[in-house]
Structure 1
Amino acid sequence: MKLKTKGLKYSELRKKINIQPEKEKDNSLANFTHYLHNSGNGVAHYYKDSAEEYFKQLNEKCNIVEESSFQYLLPIKWDVPFPIPEKTKFKFIDLFAGIGGVRLAFQNQGGKCVFTSEWDKFAKKTYEANFGEVPFGDITQINETEIPDHDILLAGFPCQPFSIAGVSKKNSLGRVHGFLDETQGTLFFDVARIIKHKRPKAFMLENVKNLLSHDKGRTFEIIYNTLDELGYSIHFRVLDGKHFVPQHRERIIIVGYDKKVFMGQENFKFPEMPKANKFIAQILEPTPEDKYTLSNKLWGYLQAYSEKHKAKGNGFGFGMTDLNGISRTLSARYYKDGSEILIPQPDQNPRRLTPRECARLMGYPDNYVIPVSDNQAYKQFGNSVIVPLIEAVAKEIIKIIV
């Protein structure tokens, strides 16, 4: 049966062409879905040629529409959990996107995402299921000229060691170097080169609290100086997610504004944190499956491990969570044993959180789709951001942008 073309639902198209981001080996689906999202907003030309070629191949294989023209697919009805706002105020790009927590926060504030990148194939699967868009892959392989213009650059870049040995060597050789050159070989370099070429009005970077103290502060100094050299005024602060969700989770947020646009007079302020009054019992499911209860073997191991380290004077051990309090920080390793956040249960072994509870602990709404295995879900939420915290920052950023 032929699909209706005008007003085609994304879910129909998705099923017809069997979209599976985790199996893609190139950026064909990324170009295709990015074109569908941007066909009428002046960004489409970045994706059009690749998308049309991909569509032609798809149509020959799947017979999506009778005509060969791409235009018969448009406009798409975005029946995904988090479609683009009907009216948007600004454009942003989402780098090291993970499962889209930062996108969701800025989209909630009227933003239009025009480019996204994420290398992990399972994170791509989750991202596509919720936004109807497949992220591009490895950002190190993407030329900055291929990225659309945007107002705000967003990136939760991984922290890698920076080498400063090359600086003294270049000095001794009489070579000119800049801080951008100093970051070569790190993923922060890719953020910096895109900022340098695209000149967004503003950016927001997110990282672990320890970025400030890494390598005795030298890593953060290089990052700060690089961004300053690129011509941006920098604001940073460590914020704790416990003000929005029942989890102690400190992250550094770095915000920058283009000095050529705002002349250093943007008057940006980080949001005032609401009273921390959330507690774990609020996010728990009433009847979790038995599989989340720890086995006798695992529970015995965790108790013995904890006792061994207590005897040595160490603080290592499991974290039994007070249901009327907040949890420790959810980490990407939670899938291994769940030890940092255990939920007590009467008359039986404690249990780990369910993936849905992890989603709630990170501030994701309950209509957020979790299409991956439990282990992958634990990794994804452990690597993600506190959505309402990021949204609170987004509100302050865009006050100056729009």
Structure 2
Amino acid sequence: MNEIDSAALLLARQAREQDWKQFEQDCLLLQRVLEIYDQKTVVQALRELGQYEWTREALNRWTNGKSPANPLTEAEVSLLRQMLPAPPAHHPDYAFRFIDLFAGIGGIRSGFEAAGGQCVFTSEWNKFSVRTYKANWYCCPDAHTFNQDIRDVTLSNDASVSEQQAYQHIDQQVPDHDVLLAGFPCQPFSLAGVSKKNALGRAHGFECEAQGTLFFDVARIITAKKPAIFVLENVKNLKSHDKGKTFRIIMDTLDELGYDVADANISGPKDPKIVDGQHFLPQHRERIVLVGFRRDLHLPSFSLDALSSLYPAHRTPLRALLEPSVDEKYILTPTLWKYLYQYAKKHQAKGNGFGYGLVDPQRENGVVRTLSARYYKDGSEILIDRGWDRALGERDFNNAENQQRRPRRLTPRECARLMGFEQPDGYRFRIPVSDTQAYRQFGNSVVVPAFAAIARLLLPWIKQAVAQRQARP
């Protein structure tokens, strides 16, 4: 073989290696997109480019590494990248690091990322919420860990693991961070007997009382990682849950771990720990927010009472969040509307408050009821009035003209706006799941502007904590 043939062979081999590397990168890109969108959506998007007759079978061959090593075209790569979220505008100039536990679809993360934070760890178990989360929040595999079952990190599902082994495992699995965020589920605590703990050689305190609940997993991570600040969110009824025992154990645990909780001793109707989303958007949605500071850092006192200074001067009215026209599938069927109507009348006659929430979108200062995770069932808590004449309904419910004005549900897009995930003329929140799953996700989430305001309020304290960390040798 002469020198010319050898050079040609080398070039050909290098070209094949380059094509193979590009093919592997393309496969990884496709896999990331398919973590979010179903195959039908991805195939349809690729076929619209008209460059290749994409099918589900072809997509499977690609993702399984069985397709010929022909890289995707530039147009296909560009399209797929557009289906993934872009990094935040301030990346990589982050002011602090945080983790997002029981993350849902990223409602709490949103505000802390906007305040300059870098999310380095996320945990969310619901596979549909994971898809929505990944569709909207930048997750760089090199700098961000995504976990689906927090118990795999805390090892709380393995009774043979000692507390110290669990803490060591957490320290290895969870990156260091300044702020811990967690919207943990509310569960009753089952008090374990101290004698049994003594027999097993285990500690008392939160390891005894909180075990078996998901708050226990949060407490273990706080113990192992010792973040400077935490923000815990839950429903308002957490304070009265299980006759107050749940809240008492939580507060005792946080104190035992060495944290001071803001406004800890304040209660009553003006408890600043209770944050109502209606100050930011036209929805009555109360949540309890526990903000804790590591006691040994001696940070200045903090109160959520100052959050009122960040309320918007003019709250966006409901009508500004609604779409000009919606698909007929969101209008209640005659059967469902008749059921809700008669159900409400029956309870009104008994003096009960049960019934639907019919909302006039033209009211300037109207506040709707709390959007719940069951909204997909009938939409009864928030129904948009389309001109239904109640007086006529009382006389003749089946009047054809009145039936044409049956109320409707909010669309998932309108739910995204009512929760603050998007503005009507701004960023379009990606909803890669069915309407049923979307309603559940928004109903389980938080009012985004409220937690964005909490993040802004906290930022000076976060910066002081970061400065202390950076000053340590």
Contact 2:232 2:290 in 1 (8 A): yes
The AA in structure 1 aligned to 2:120 is V
Distance 1:65 1:232 in 2: 56
1:51 aligned residue: none
- Unaligned 5+ segments in structure 2 are 1-15, 39-61, 72-80, 140-144, 155-169, 264-272, 388-401, 464-473
Deviation at 1:59, TM superposition (A): 9.2
1:197 aligned residue: 224
2:87 aligned residue: 83
1:339 aligned residue: 380
Deviation at 1:269, TM superposition (A): 2.6
Count of residues paired in the alignment:
357
1:207 aligned residue: 234
SS at 1:350 equivalent: coil
The AA in structure 2 aligned to 1:386 is V
Contact 2:36 2:134 in 1 (8 A): no
Q: How does 1:14-163 map to 2 (within 5 A)?
A: 16-17=30-31, 19-21=33-35, 80-81=84-85, 83-84=87-88, 85-86=90-91, 87-133=93-139, 135-143=146-154, 144-145=170-171, 146-163=173-190
Pair 1:268 & 2:268 matched: no
Deviation at 1:139, TM superposition (A): 0.6
1:263-289 C-alpha deviation (Å, 9 max, x unpaired): 2x4222322252573321121100111
Gap change, CA 1:91 and 1:291, over 3 Å in 2: same
1:181-214 C-alpha deviation (Å, 9 max, x unpaired): 2100000000000000000111100000000111
1:377 aligned residue: 438
- Unaligned 5+ segments in structure 1 are 25-56, 67-76
**Deviating more after overlay: 172-181 vs 265-274:** 172-181
SS at 1:228 equivalent: helix
Deviation at 1:260, TM superposition (A): 1.6
SS at 2:408 equivalent: strand
2:450 aligned residue: 389
Deviation at 1:20, TM superposition (A): 3.1
1:303 aligned residue: 341
2:160 aligned residue: none
Gap change, CA 1:299 and 1:147, over 3 Å in 2: same
The AA in structure 2 aligned to 1:135 is F
The AA in structure 1 aligned to 2:175 is P
Gap change, CA 1:318 and 1:64, over 3 Å in 2: farther
1:251-271 C-alpha deviation (Å, 9 max, x unpaired): 00000111122x2x4222322
Contact 1:211 1:252 in 2 (8 A): yes
SS at 2:355 equivalent: coil
Contact 1:58 1:64 in 2 (8 A): no
Deviation at 1:290, TM superposition (A): 1.1
Gap change, CA 1:319 and 1:5, over 3 Å in 2: farther
The AA in structure 1 aligned to 2:229 is A
The AA in structure 1 aligned to 2:289 is I
Deviation at 1:343, TM superposition (A): 0.2
**Deviating more after overlay: 165-174 vs 378-387:** 165-174
Q: How does 1:198-237 map to 2 (within 5 A)?
A: 198-236=225-263, 237=273
SS at 1:285 equivalent: coil
Bigger Rg, structure 1 or 2: 2
The AA in structure 2 aligned to 1:296 is P
The AA in structure 2 aligned to 1:83 is P
Deviation at 1:218, TM superposition (A): 1.6
SS at 2:147 equivalent: coil
The AA in structure 2 aligned to 1:267 is S
2:49 aligned residue: none
Percent identity of equivalent pairs: 53
1:49-93 C-alpha deviation (Å, 9 max, x unpaired): xxxxxxxx9795578899xxxxxxxxxx88744523321100000
SS at 1:128 equivalent: helix
Distance 1:162 1:18 in 2: 38
- 1:178 pairs with 197, 205, 211, which one? 205
- 1:326 pairs with 359, 364, 367, which one? 367
Distance 1:299 1:339 in 2: 9
1:242 aligned residue: 278
Gap change, CA 1:317 and 1:277, over 3 Å in 2: same
Distance 1:296 1:218 in 2: 45
Contact 2:192 2:209 in 1 (8 A): no
Contact 2:36 2:432 in 1 (8 A): no
Contact 1:245 1:362 in 2 (8 A): yes
2:429 aligned residue: 368
Distance 1:233 1:65 in 2: 58
Taking only aligned residues, the RMSD between alpha carbons, in angstroms, comes to 3.3
Deviation at 1:308, TM superposition (A): 1.8
TM-score, normalised by the number of residues in structure 2: 0.69
Deviation at 1:328, TM superposition (A): 0.2
Gap change, CA 1:5 and 1:279, over 3 Å in 2: farther
Distance 2:231 2:146 in 1: 19
The AA in structure 1 aligned to 2:191 is I
The AA in structure 2 aligned to 1:130 is N
SS at 2:254 equivalent: helix
